């Protein structure tokens, strides 16, 4: 067995280590989500924690790790008699990103259940992690339905498996730890809320600390056993402190004053629901026990807020997580020493009333606009100040965009955009199983078995079902796509109001892509070339940040933009051939860059049409006189065109256009 890196040898990362230890003291805190850049000891610290947890007593032979002092009466391997038991180390079970539902929750053998009447259940990772740690690396890349199952089990302390009327329940109480790199995409706010605590980690910028990190890592790699032996004393001390804190936890008193501080803090930061209050209370109690105290102090409440609230304040994927510590201190000070009997009437609007200052970083939709700069125009020459063009224009307020989808039926990653064959969704047919049977199509199975009943000796009621009769249900749901934005940033697009509206439209489509679980990419073109502003990624907030800082001006190399997008799609198909693409070209349709710009743009567009790539052209042309060039581009792409106004989900013009379109010929993407 590989010797883990000692927990106490991790350099820095105080918040991460504290959050993990608090969950070790009180698993009711609800787990930890660790957010941070790659190479910041996220996985190392989590794996090291398992060595600090006390041994657990289990019923011999029980696959579900029942406690011999109080065995689970519903254990599938039970019933067990109380008493006895053997000790074993606490487990750390790792959930791979590509795991199936059956691997997570366990598998019922439907074939044996129907053909032999045997209720056979193979435990999954949730059963293995019971009374230990369940670690999910890159939790933001895990399929949504698996995250839902995972968090439901963590909240209820049990896992339920149901297949065609056969059900199994077993206990599943574990310390849930997820790690993620925000650059690869965010978790949905409602899933973020299900993690008790969150920690932001980053590599130290102090040279001395970085030197110590490298020194310890090299020493560990040279001789893991000897390195671990040098830290054995510190490891034993922390292990004993965890045991002592667990024993002290039931005696910790959470007074009314601390409770009022917790409630006031959650109200001041406008956190949705009551889960934050409960998590803060449990965290503050665990902090007191960890410190060896039986009373919760204001410092415990403050630390609990810093760990439990930042991720619960995100309202959309473009909001940066974080907490205004000045506002936190003001709230705690206002309610300090208040046990509920004070005659003072606190301001119902929270600390500072309505005049409190916002957090310094208010995200992309804050008030800190960019300073206008002279920029090159359509002829490539610098524009005079006041010409209406600038280096970066803030996006207009996002709106609810109409649904754009890829035609046909795909087989890509689960999502919410285009039709696809999936494991979850409505049943559309049946087929013979390829491998293990997961979703039984009962009617098709009966139809397959019925003609053979006489030959099988069945003359009365009932049905004899054999393995060859079983049919797998085929289902249709929705998939996530690659939405590649190709944005015209030339001088013809650079007027302040126009570019603001264009960025607002793209921001709206980015928000829609986030909600539909898409990957996104961003190609821009201006001057004499096109650039990949953002390679395909699951992080729509990264795309929003690139869009906000997008400069404009210069000629319109439309062909270069289309060819760059074509190359991005070619590479992405090699990486992920199952994920279908939707190209969204945002332009007024003009082509002025390079020799024969119009002819080159037409040839580039026809490459997409030849490959039947779904595409939409968002026509940004405005004014009383319009050339209709964007509409011509949409035809050459083999896609469809919409105006900025028609892109709105509640647009009357878009609704009329859709109705007229259905009476003619179907469009490629709508």
Residues known to be catalytic: 275
DSSP, residue by residue, 235-261: HHHHHHHHHHHHHHGGG-B--HHHHHH
Show the CA angle centred on residue 416, arms to residues 415 and 420, nearest 5°. 70
Is 620 strand, coil or helix?
coil
Give the C-alpha separation, 203 to 13, whole Å: 9
Tell which residue, 112, 114, 131, has the closest CA to residue 122: 112
- How far is CA 257 from its chain centroid? 36
Give the C-alpha separation, 21 to 303, whole Å: 14
Measured between alpha carbons, how far is residue 478 from residues 143, 241, 300, 458, 489 in Å? 13, 49, 45, 42, 33
Give the C-alpha separation, 391 to 541, whole Å: 21
649 Cβ contact partners less than 8 Å away, ≥ 6 residues apart: 399, 400, 401, 402, 403
Q: Check the CA dihedral 335-336-341-345 and report its sign.
A: negative
Contact yes or no for 414/479 (Cβ under 8 A): yes
Is 317 strand, coil or helix?
coil
Contact yes or no for 85/58 (Cβ under 8 A): yes
- Beta pairing class for 86-88 and 166-171: unpaired
Residue 176's H or E segment, with its range, is: strand 175-180
Q: What is the 3-state secondary structure (H, E, C) of 323-388?
A: CCHHHHHHHHHHCCCCCCCCCCCCCCCCCCHHHCCCCCCCCCCCCCCCCCCCCECCCCCECCCCCC
Give the C-alpha separation, 281 to 293, whole Å: 15
446 Cβ contact partners less than 8 Å away, ≥ 6 residues apart: 463
Tell which residue, 62, 66, 152, has the closest CA to residue 104: 152
Task: Give exposure, 478-506, as e/b (b: 16+ Cβ within 10 Å).
Answer: bbbbbbbbbbbbbbbbbbeebbebbbbbb
Measured between alpha carbons, how far is residue 207 from residues 203, 204, 234 in Å? 11, 8, 25
């Amino acid at each position: 067995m590989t010797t883990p890196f000692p927990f106490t040898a991790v350099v820095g990362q105080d918040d991460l280590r504290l959050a993990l230890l608090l969950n070790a003291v009180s698993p009711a805190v609800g787990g930890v989500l660790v957010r941070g850049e790659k190479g910041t000891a996220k996985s190392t610290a989590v794996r090291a924690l398992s060595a600090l947890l006390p041994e657990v007593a289990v019923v011999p032979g029980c696959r579900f790790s029942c406690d011999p002092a109080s065995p689970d009466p519903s254990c599938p391997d039970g019933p067990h008699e109380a008493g006895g038991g053997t000790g074993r180390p606490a487990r750390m079970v790792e959930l791979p990103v590509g795991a199936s539902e059956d691997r997570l929750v366990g598998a019922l053998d439907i074939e044996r259940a129907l053909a032999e009447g045997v209720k056979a259940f193979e435990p999954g990772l949730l059963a293995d992690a019971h009374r230990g740690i369940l670690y999910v690396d890159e939790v933001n890349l895990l399929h949504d339905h698996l995250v839902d199952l995972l968090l439901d089990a963590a909240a209820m302390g049990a896992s339920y498996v149901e297949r065609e009327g056969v059900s199994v329940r077993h206990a599943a109480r574990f310390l849930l730890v997820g790690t993620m790199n925000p650059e690869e995409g965010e978790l949905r706010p409602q899933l973020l809320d299900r993690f008790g605590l969150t920690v932001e980690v980053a590599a130290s910028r102090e040279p001395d600390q970085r030197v110590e990190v490298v020194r310890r890592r090299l020493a560990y790699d040279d001789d893991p056993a000897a390195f671990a032996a040098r830290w054995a004393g510190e490891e034993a001390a922390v292990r004993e402190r965890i045991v002592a804190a667990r024993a002290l936890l039931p005696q910790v008193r959470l007074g009314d004053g601390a409770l009022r501080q917790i409630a006031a803090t959650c109200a001041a930061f406008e956190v949705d629901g009551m889960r934050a209050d409960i998590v803060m209370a449990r965290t503050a109690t665990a902090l007191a026990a960890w410190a060896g105290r039986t009373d919760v102090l204001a410092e415990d409440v403050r630390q609990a807020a810093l760990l439990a609230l930042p991720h619960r304040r995100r309202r959309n994927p473009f909001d940066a997580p974080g907490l205004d510590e000045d506002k936190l201190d003001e709230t705690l000070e206002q309610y300090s020493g208040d046990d509920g009997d004070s005659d003072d009437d606190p301001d119902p609007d929270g600390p500072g009333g309505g005049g409190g200052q916002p957090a310094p970083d208010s995200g992309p939709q804050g008030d800190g606009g960019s300073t206008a700069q002279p920029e090159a125009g359509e002829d490539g020459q610098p524009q005079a100040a006041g010409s209406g063009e600038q280096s970066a224009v803030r996006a207009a307020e996002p709106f609810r965009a109409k649904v754009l989808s890829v035609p046909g039926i795909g087989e890509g990653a689960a999502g919410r955009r285009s039709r696809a064959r999936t494991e979850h969704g409505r049943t559309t047919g049946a087929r013979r199983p390829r491998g293990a049977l997961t979703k039984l199509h009962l009617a098709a199975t009966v139809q397959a078995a019925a003609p053979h009943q006489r030959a099988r000796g069945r003359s009365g009621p009932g049905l004899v079902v054999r393995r060859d009769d079983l049919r797998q249900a085929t289902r249709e749901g929705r998939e996530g796509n690659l939405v590649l934005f190709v944005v015209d940033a030339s001088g013809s697009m650079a007027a302040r109001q126009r570019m603001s509206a264009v960025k607002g439209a793209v921001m709206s489509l980015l928000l829609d892509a986030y909600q539909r679980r898409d990957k996104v990419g961003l190609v821009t073109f201006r001057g004499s070339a096109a650039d990949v502003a953002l390679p395909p990624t699951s992080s729509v907030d990264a795309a929003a940040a690139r869009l906000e800082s997008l400069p404009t001006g210069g000629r319109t190399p439309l062909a270069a933009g289309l060819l760059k997008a074509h190359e991005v799609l070619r590479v992405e198909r090699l990486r992920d051939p199952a994920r279908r693409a939707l190209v969204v070209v945002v332009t007024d349709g003009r082509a002025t860059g390079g020799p024969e710009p119009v002819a080159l743009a037409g040839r580039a567009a026809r490459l997409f049409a030849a490959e039947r790539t779904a595409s939409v052209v968002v026509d940004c042309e405005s004014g009383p006189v319009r050339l209709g060039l964007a509409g011509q581009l949409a035809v050459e792409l083999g896609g469809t065109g919409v105006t900025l106004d028609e892109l709105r989900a509640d647009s009357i013009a878009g609704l009329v256009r859709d109705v007229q379109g259905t009476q003619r010929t179907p469009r490629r993407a709508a």
